Amino acid sequence: MVKENEHPVILFDGVCNLCNNSVQFVIKNDKKKAFYFTSLQSNAGQQLLEQYRLSPDRFDSFVLIENKKAYTRSTAALRVVKRLGGLWTLLYGFIIIPPFIRNALYDWVARNRYQWFGKSESCMLPTPELKARFLN
């Protein structure tokens, strides 16, 4: 069973370099090791997308499953930084910007992410010590 009942789960585009770097950032700054991860393309990712009625073939959104609710795009990213603690929580202040504005910026970056940051041939493989935090 997927661990979204116990831990917040981040779903990300597994072949996007920006997305993989974002996951590495969260891992580095997640001192409580609260977050679990899976790529949107994985079986677990596809299962969660279906469970939360999100498009299974749209890989341009960052998704956070938290407290049995799915958050996408800029709202998901802001909720993640809020949970990281420290100075990162200050970024959550951007939540006051209306979602249509935040998501317009998010969508612009998402459309250009492969061009600007590149694309991998395959999904990121976690190190053995991180493997337990990645859903299969």
> Who's near 116: CB < 8 A, 6+ residues apart?
18, 109
Q: Are 30 and 46 in contact (CB under 8 A)?
A: no
Q: Are 29 and 54 in contact (CB under 8 A)?
A: no
Helix (H, G, I), strand (E, B) or coil at 39: strand
CATH of segment(s) 3-130: 3.40.30
Residue burial 51-80, b: 16+ Cβ < 10 Å; e: rest: ebebeeeebbbbbbbbeeebbbbbbbbbbb
pLDDT tens string for the chain (136 positions)? 455 567 999 999 888 889 988 999 999 999 999 999 999 999 999 999 999 999 988 888 889 999 999 999 999 999 999 999 889 999 999 999 999 999 999 999 999 998 998 888 766 667 777 787 888 7
All structural domains of the chain with their residue ranges: 3-130
